Copies of this chain bind each other. A is one copy, B any other.
Amino acid sequence: MSTVTAATDLQCCPPITEAALDDETAHRLAGVFSVLGDPIRLRLFSLIASRPEGSCACDLVGPLGRSQPTISHHLKALHEAGLVDRERRGRWIWYSVRPKALLAAATLISC
């Protein structure tokens, strides 16, 4: 996982088949891919994405067999990559996917 600029908007870009990526764009996009490149993070992301209303962090710690600090660490990575939104509700924090993030990646990849 490379360093990622915190929580910036994920911009859409032309499909990857259109033109070779420049260095800066490649770094930015690779950052997103590398965040999805860890099985635990990908499952976290899919758990969040599978619920339209989002997920409470408290429901994400149990299912994956990792400690609370580890889950928190991965959620932070997903958030900083711009893949999920966070919202505090009282004592709990709710995570939900950012549709823009999905769109950007899909646009990149689709031919």
1/0 contact trace for A12-25 toward B, CB 8 Å? 00001111110100
Give the total of A residues in contact with B, Cβ under 8 Å: 39
Using Cβ atoms and an 8 Å threshold, which residues of chain B touch A1? 37
How many copies the complex holds: the figure is 2
Which residues 30-88 of A have a CB within 8 angstroms of B? Answer: 30-31, 33-43, 45-47, 49-50
Question: Chain B: which residue is nearest A29 at the CB level?
Answer: B42
- How far is B21's CA from A46's CA once the two chains are assembled, in angstroms? 6
- How far is B99's CA from A20's CA once the two chains are assembled, in angstroms? 16
Of B2, B16, B38, B41, the residue contacting A46 (CB under 8 A) is B16
A26 CB–B CB distance under 8 Å: yes
